[in-house]
Structure 1
Amino acid sequence: MYTKDEVKAFKIGFWDGFKRYSKKKGRKMTSWVLKGTQIKEVQLKFDLNEEGAFVMLQVDSKLDANRLAVFESFEKYKPVIDETCGEDLIWDKNYFIKGFKEVSVIYYQLPDVSIYNKEDWEKCYDFFFKQMSLLEEAFLDVKEVVMYRV
């Protein structure tokens, strides 16, 4: 078990490493869409937790009806999104964030990696960069029509 300071150091080290990795690949961290989706309920996210590494499009709203309406708008364009992203993309209308709340997500998962194992970091960086590039491209392809529907 790690102390609070050790956990913080792992997280800082990992994300600083990803910033450097992205920069080498030609992307600054500030160039990813992430929270700048222009759709209030939608964020693109990177996550690394006990279940693995995740690249996700998360739909979240205080009102379930709004969340589900936005997610269903994306579902209408699933063939377009899947054409860009491939078959590994997972769609979950009712995804529960442990200890937090229910959201809707479209995501990729890389299982069996840990922020506490530095040997996993390069694999996570590769996964994050490749999968977010695809998910972001697919999002941008359908963003305008989804915005129009919601």
Structure 2
Amino acid sequence: MYTREQASQLRQAFWTTFGQYIAPHPSAEGLKINWSNYKTGIKHVYFRMRAETKVASIGIEITHPDPELQELFYEQFLELKGYLHETLGEEWEWDLHTTNEFGETITRIYKEIRPVNVFNREDWPALISFFKPRIIALDEFWSDAQYSFESLK
């Protein structure tokens, strides 16, 4: 069992390692990008990567406090579902109005892998191999799709 500080340091070490590994890869538009803290440019729409003790996930999270506006964003993503899955090369889970770890209502489009443990350095190659192609594919999708969300800004 790790202390809170040790757990924080291990998580930070993983994300630093991931960032160093993926840093040489430019965005779909050829720009330098912070892959670990991806900015969509649209408030309340995030690309999130999580690595925990039993599961890792990557996804699109819609966190608007108004559930009706969350649903509008979700519907817009549904319009692009075929293109998203084609770009990703796989199908993802779609959850309208689920609850996050803080009890807030959010909407998620995501993919998970199990069992992996961010605290086990032997799992890091699997985690990096899971995250890297998917965040790059999300960026490729977003470089075209973001314009569909202009009216929702």
TM range (shorter): 0.7 to 0.9
| Contact preservation (8 Å) 2:118, 2:124 | yes
| Contact preservation (8 Å) 1:52, 1:111 | yes
Counterpart amino acid of residue 11 in structure 1: R
Q: Does 2:13 correspond to 1:10?
A: no
1:1-150 map, 5 Å: 1-23=1-23, 25-27=24-26, 30-32=33-35, 34-148=37-151
| Contact preservation (8 Å) 1:73, 1:149 | no
Identity %: 23
| Contact preservation (8 Å) 1:42, 1:60 | yes
Counterpart amino acid of residue 135 in structure 2: M
Q: Which runs of 5+ in 1 are unaligned?
A: none
Q: Distance in 2 between matches of 1:86 and 1:93?
A: 22
Kindly tell me: are residues 143 and 33 of structure 1, through their superposed partners in 2, closer, same or farther at Cα, counting changes over 3 Å? farther
Q: Could you state the TM-score of these two structures normalised by the residue count of structure 1?
A: 0.86
SS in 2 for 1:74: helix
Q: Could you state the TM-score of these two structures normalised by the residue count of structure 2?
A: 0.85
| Contact preservation (8 Å) 2:19, 2:35 | no
| Contact preservation (8 Å) 2:36, 2:49 | no
The count of residues paired between Structure 1 and Structure 2 equals 149
| Contact preservation (8 Å) 2:96, 2:107 | yes
Q: CA RMSD in A?
A: 2.3
Q: Which runs of 5+ in 2 are unaligned?
A: none
Superposition deviation, residue 27 in structure 1: 4.7
SS in 1 for 2:115: coil
SS in 2 for 1:91: strand
Q: Distance in 2 between matches of 1:31 and 1:3?
A: 28
Superposition deviation, residue 149 in structure 1: 5.5
